A and B are shown apart, each in its own frame.
Chain A
């Protein structure tokens, strides 16, 4: 399952939407955090916000077009969502043109913001290239249900295989400086069935999560560790399909006593597919 809006609570199509994502134990995108508490991957919270924006725009455009990931000006990670939490999703559309949607969004747990997206842009493309429009309408009807908040499902949808965030192979690795790694989707990854049924491609959210973790490895060492606090100027310029060897290069651009800024660039056959920056904050005295 790669659908992260469990319910749309409020909708003003093409303008604003409120939704909810329940974090359940069987979720393929839940991982233990540094303290061992199972939490939802930050980038999946971002994905949920993007999906809520997509519902808003698709409803406004009568499901003829759908947005895909394009640019995210800023991702700010300010908290976590643990198993049992319900994440409130709040997405505001700044403008919609014939070819793109511009939006910003915030996710919160019990009133505290856990993740924000600013200056996000999604190109609008013909829906039928990606999904069966009827299926999308049906799903929309199922999740768009008044203000009565539904309970979280009792269990996750079966014991899903956790998504593997690692790269297939590290091509080079120089701790504290630069790493290059490659990953090729096999086509059998579970999320491809939903992203998208008619055009399986790597979601930007999962790519970004992999990059944030690769960057974290690059910064390891000594008596401190760095945790990702966000990303900037992330842009997906091409689709990555199964079989495409995705080469990711991550480089430490700036590093201080408190923070680190990494730049990344991903290519397929020499063509740029994704660029951006990742930000980290140093956590003292918690070496693992």
Chain B
């Protein structure tokens, strides 16, 4: 299974949660910048995905996973280090490169999330939460 298999359902849920038409959802769009997602929408979205795919997404998982193996050097005073930024780019490989900014605030990482990011999360949890979210 790959993310293509689950994308149609994920897109449907995202459109529903964010009150957009499915046709307006781009797979690499930013949920925050392009579809005005608020924090309640992320809670809602994860909940709907959990119900649909019968998975459990640990809270704060994305950030924890992104830091894996880099617990020391990932951030400094709430901002990404150069190392942290490179690590995050690899982890969120589906996000277009130009959306990452040097020394970006860790709290703004969710602004990078795209529908594909959520496909990867769902897929990983469906496959037992063991495989890395690469590709």
Does A286 sit at the interface, judged by CB under 8 A?
no
Q: Does A52 contact B (CB under 8 A)?
A: no
Residues on A lying within 8 angstroms of B by beta carbon are 70-71, 97-100, 102, 119, 121, 123, 233, 235-238, 265, 271-272, 275
Cβ–Cβ contact B40 & A236, under 8 A: yes
Chain A min CB distance to B17 (Å): 8
Closest to A102 in B: B47
Task: Name A272's contact: one of B19, B39, B47 (CB within 8 Å).
Answer: B19
**Min CB distance, B22 to chain A, in Å?**
15
B44: CB under 8 A from chain A? yes
Q: Say which residue of B16, B36, B40 sits within 8 Å of A233 (CB atoms).
A: B16
The residues in B between 14 and 63 inclusive whose CB is less than 8 angstroms from any CB of A are: 16, 19, 36, 38-41, 43-44, 47, 51, 59
Minimum Cβ distance to chain A for residue B113 (Å): 16
17 extra interface residue pairs, beta carbon distance < 8 Å, beyond A97-B59, A235-B40, A272-B36: A70-B43, A70-B44, A71-B44, A98-B59, A99-B43, A100-B43, A100-B47, A102-B47, A121-B40, A121-B44, A121-B47, A123-B43, A233-B16, A235-B44, A237-B38, A271-B36, A272-B19
Most buried by B among A121, A237, A275: A237
A121 adjacent to B19 (CB under 8 Å): no
For the complex, give the distance between the alpha carbons of A238 and B38 in Å: 8
Q: List 10 A-B contacts (CB under 8 A).
A: A71-B47, A99-B43, A99-B59, A100-B47, A102-B47, A121-B43, A235-B40, A235-B41, A235-B44, A237-B41
Q: Is the interface of B mostly helix, strand, loop or mixed?
A: helix
Determine if A123 and B39 form an interchain contact, defined as CB atoms under 8 angstroms apart.
yes
In the docked arrangement, what's the CA distance between A211 and B103, Å?
44
The 5 closest A-B pairs by CB, nearest first: A237-B38, A275-B19, A237-B40, A71-B44, A100-B43
Beta-carbon nearest neighbor of A265 in chain B: B19
The residues of A that contact B59 with a CB separation of less than 8 Å are 97-99
- Within 8 Å CB of B51, what residues of A? 119
Least Cβ distance of B43 to chain A in Å? 5
A93 to chain B, nearest CB (A): 14
Residue of A nearest to B60 (CB): A98
Give every chain B residue within 8 A of A102 (Cβ-Cβ): 47
**Interchain CB contact under 8 A, A71 and B40:** yes
Contacts of B43 in A (CB 8 A): 70-71, 99-100, 121, 123
Name which residue of chain B comes closest to A70, CB basis.
B40
Chain B residues whose CB sits within 8 angstroms of the CB of A271 once the complex forms = 36
Query: Measured between alpha carbons, how far is A98 from B42 in the docked complex, in Å?
Result: 14
Q: Shortest Cβ distance from B69 into chain A, in angstroms?
A: 24
A236 nearest CB neighbor, chain B only: B40
With a CB–CB cut-off of 8 A, which chain B residues contact A275? 19
- B49, chain A: closest CB distance, angstroms: 13
Residues of A within 8 A of B36 (CB): 271-272
